[in-house]
Structure formats: C-alpha cells, structure tokens
C-alpha cells in the first residue's frame, strides 16, 4: 500500500481514526479468505467506458461467472447517480487512482483529462472506520468470508463458518470480487467487495466495508491492477 518502499511517496497517510482501539476487530467484518483465482494484474482488454449510448441493460444483466449465476440489477429502480458513469472530476489525484468517498457513497476511478469513472457504493460500519492511502495488493475472485468472533458472539449460528468460511457464491457477503487494501506489508483488513443485496447501494449499512453491485465490482476488477493506489476520504476530505 502507500509505503515509501513501493512508491517513493514517503510514509503512508493514515488518519487518527485508523489508530482507534478495536479497529482490527471492526474491519474483520470485511475479511476475505481466498478465492477461486487471485489475479496479479489488471485485464489487458478493459471494458468500454460508459458513454451516451452505453447499454446499461447489458451491463447490469444477469450473467454466469465461474459457474455462479449473478442476478440482474434492477438499475432503473435506483437513482441514476449510482449507475456506473463517467463524470467530471477535480480531486487532483493522477489517472488510475481509486478514490473512495464513503460519505457521498461514491467510488471513483480517475481518468485522464479531469474525468473519472464513478460507481455507487454502500458503506458498512467498517467503511467509516478507516481512511487514508493504501494499495490494492490482492484481488480475489469469489472470495470466502469468515465472520469475525464478535459477530459470532451476537449470532452463534455463524460459528459453523469460522473454520472454513462462508461458501463462495451469490449469497456470500463479499459477492463476486474483493479487492484487499494493504499498507506496505500490512493488511488493513479494508475491502472493496461485491454484495448480495443490491438495495444497499447508496446507503449506510450495518456491516462490511465498501460494497458495490457485483456487476460493478467485476467491472472495476478488470480495470485496476494490483498496486493501484486507493485513497479513502475522511469526512473532512469528502467531495
């Protein structure tokens, strides 16, 4: 992630909120434990950017991925601002940076020429608990999910998933993809991931980190390689 050994930018930027007692336990709710595939680079053939004639029906249609069936997103039921789209962007980050604004419920992938590809997101409690600079070090396809101990204490029925994790698939809380954020050699436990609940996009939710529609997190997954810089905004820096 944002270590000086990797990008020459000096020490990683990390807000005081990330040092709060108990943060690792909170972020464990986003924990992913492997997947069908770990990609080391971004796709060489990236999806087309959405423009005036973009086919949203196709982009958010049902599909089969690694033998898992992903339901269609009823995107017309949601505010259009949460649809995947290219927007003007003046955040100052160089092209190729992922910027997460948990307060406005948007994730941006910055593009050349003052533009960015914007996605709608849902934000769990852990998504508000950390901000700063990081890097995508691991990309997971259909990740497992292991519930943290404090969640099991509230719901003992989850104990069965502690050892081997919640099975991969559309009902998994991490959805179709997970991007794991690290700082240097340390896993922040902060995740950008899919969701089994499309209605959570644009909302603050009870658990998890940064969730996206499965079709959107799959799109982002294809666009960003490992070592991509990720900036998670604090409230003061929210756009």
Catalytic residue among 209, 210, 231, 232: 209
Catalytic residue among 146, 193, 211, 229: 193
The yes-or-no answer on residue 30 being catalytic is no
Dihedral of the alpha carbons of 238, 110, 231, 58, in degrees to the nearest 10? 90
Active-site residue flag, 227: no
Residue 86 C-alpha from the chain's centroid: 18
Interatomic CA distance for residues 44 and 18, integer angstroms: 34
Its sign, for the CA torsion 49, 128, 130, 145, is negative
Concatenating the DSSP letter of every residue in 79-140 gives -GGGS-EEEE--S-PPTT-EEEETTTTEEEEEETTTEEEEEE-EE-GGGGS--EEEEEEEEE
3-state secondary structure of 86: strand
**Residues designated catalytic:** 193, 209
């Amino acid at each position: 992630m944002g270590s000086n050994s990797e990008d020459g930018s000096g020490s990683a930027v990390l807000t005081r909120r990330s040092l709060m007692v108990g943060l690792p336990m909170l972020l464990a709710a986003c924990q992913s434990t492997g997947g069908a595939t770990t990609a080391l680079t971004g796709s060489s053939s990236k999806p087309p950017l959405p423009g005036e004639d973009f086919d949203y029906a196709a982009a958010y249609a049902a599909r089969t991925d690694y033998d898992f069936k992903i339901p269609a997103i009823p995107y017309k039921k949601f505010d259009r601002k949460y649809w995947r789209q290219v927007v003007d962007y003046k955040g100052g980050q160089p092209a190729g940076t992922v910027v997460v604004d948990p307060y406005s419920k948007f994730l941006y992938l910055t593009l050349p020429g003052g533009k960015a590809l914007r996605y709608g997101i849902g934000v769990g409690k852990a998504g508000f608990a950390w901000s700063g600079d990081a890097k995508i070090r691991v990309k997971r396809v259909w990740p497992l999910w292991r519930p943290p101990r404090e969640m099991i204490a509230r719901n003992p029925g989850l104990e069965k998933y502690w050892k081997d994790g919640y099975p991969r698939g559309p009902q998994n809380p991490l959805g179709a993809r997970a991007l794991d954020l690290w700082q240097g050699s340390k896993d922040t436990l902060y995740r950008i991931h899919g969701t089994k609940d499309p209605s959570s996009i644009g909302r603050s939710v009870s658990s998890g980190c940064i969730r996206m529609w499965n079709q959107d997190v799959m799109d982002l997954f294809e666009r960003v390689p490992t070592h991509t810089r990720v900036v998670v905004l604090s409230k003061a820096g929210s756009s």
